[in-house]
């Protein structure tokens, strides 16, 4: 199933991040706009620019990135493709993971480093304020109050609008909320991986946006003749589109950010926003994990 309207992402409905930044719930994750291992420049930088511009044309108002993607490559491409930004577009970025080679990610949460991360992301993205800045990982070697505390300081300075967390537990969210308001949480969650179910339920109960990364995973659930494959066939859609549609129906606070380096794949992903699932279909898919 491909999109049938000019701005299919709008069919996903909206969510107000932090209570005041309204985004269409189906966004775009910009991690794959880099080289292999999320390292270096993409093989086709022009296509990366086309993907970003096409995402906005199709109604995406939330683009998620990080300074560690490349590193710096993803943020640079976003600025090249989209600045000056449309008024309704939220660029969410992250800091706190350092890179030492392809597929190598090490957390550094020292306050002076996180402050530098924010300042450099502001410069690369060409922004005066980052709408949503996420702590990419909690550094176990640094007190949480120091890591979230410096982001709260930069929020007070007007350089960050809202603060998010990534790969955290309910206990960590609650500890962070003592230090500063938390607008979003980004954890691994999809049709096959539900380890963050408790976190999702906490977010829903507290009005916190939940951004599931790796949202397209279907694995063995998509095998021919399976419940997922049959449901996809019923809707004239792919298994990956059904996985996205399921996420959108799972909770009103869920903000999927499927990523791709292909405009064709982008268009297919965003078509998922137009798939309506009955409560019975959602329950059947939920029961698969």
For 36, residues 6+ apart whose C-beta sits below 8 A from its C-beta are: 102
Of the residues 69, 133, 189, 202, which is catalytic?
A: 69
Q: State which H helix or E strand residue 195 sits in.
A: none
Instruction: Compute the distance between CA of residue 93 and CA of residue 208 in angstroms, rounded to an integer.
Output: 17
User: Is residue 53 within 8 Å of 82, Cβ to Cβ?
Assistant: yes
Q: Is 85 a catalytic residue?
A: no
Per the structure block, which two tokens stand in for 4? 């049938």
Q: Of 265, 212, 203, which is closest to residue 240 (Cα–Cα)?
A: 265
Q: How far is CA 33 from CA 8, 11, 25, 212, 263, in A?
A: 22, 25, 21, 18, 12
Instruction: Compute the distance between CA of residue 26 and CA of residue 61 in angstroms, rounded to an integer.
Output: 8
Note the Cα 252 to chain centre separation in Å.
15
User: Is residue 66 within 8 Å of 94, Cβ to Cβ?
Assistant: yes
Instruction: Compute the distance between CA of residue 180 and CA of residue 12 in angstroms, rounded to an integer.
Output: 29
**Which residues belong to the active site?**
69
């Amino acid at each position: 199933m491909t999109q049938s309207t000019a701005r299919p992402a709008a069919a996903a409905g909206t969510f107000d991040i932090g209570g005041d930044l309204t985004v269409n719930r189906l966004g775009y994750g910009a991690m794959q706009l880099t080289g292999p291992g999320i390292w270096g420049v993409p093989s086709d930088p022009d296509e990366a620019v086309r993907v970003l511009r096409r995402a906005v044309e199709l109604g995406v108002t939330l683009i998620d990135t990080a300074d560690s993607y490349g590193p710096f490559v993803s943020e640079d491409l976003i600025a090249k493709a989209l600045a000056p930004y449309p008024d309704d577009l939220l660029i969410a970025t992250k800091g706190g993971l350092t890179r030492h080679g392809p597929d190598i990610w090490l957390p550094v949460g020292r306050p002076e480093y996180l402050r530098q991360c924010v300042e450099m992301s502001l410069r690369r993205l060409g922004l005066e304020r980052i709408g949503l800045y996420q702590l990419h990982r909690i550094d176990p070697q640094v007190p949480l109050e120091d890591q979230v505390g410096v982001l709260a300081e930069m929020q007070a300075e007007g350089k960050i609008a809202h603060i998010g967390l990534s790969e955290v537990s309910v206990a960590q969210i609650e500890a962070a909320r003592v230090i500063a308001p938390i607008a979003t949480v980004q954890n691994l969650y999809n049709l096959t991986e539900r380890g963050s179910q408790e976190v999702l339920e906490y977010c829903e109960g507290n009005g916190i946006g939940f951004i599931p990364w790796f949202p397209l995973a279907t694995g063995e659930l998509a095998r021919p003749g399976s419940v997922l494959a049959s449901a996809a066939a019923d809707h004239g859609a792919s298994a990956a589109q059904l996985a996205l549609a399921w996420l959108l129906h799972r909770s009103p606070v869920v903000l999927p950010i499927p990523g791709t380096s292909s405009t064709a794949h982008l268009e297919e992903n965003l078509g998922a926003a137009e798939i309506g699932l009955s409560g019975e279909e959602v329950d059947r898919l939920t029961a698969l994990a």
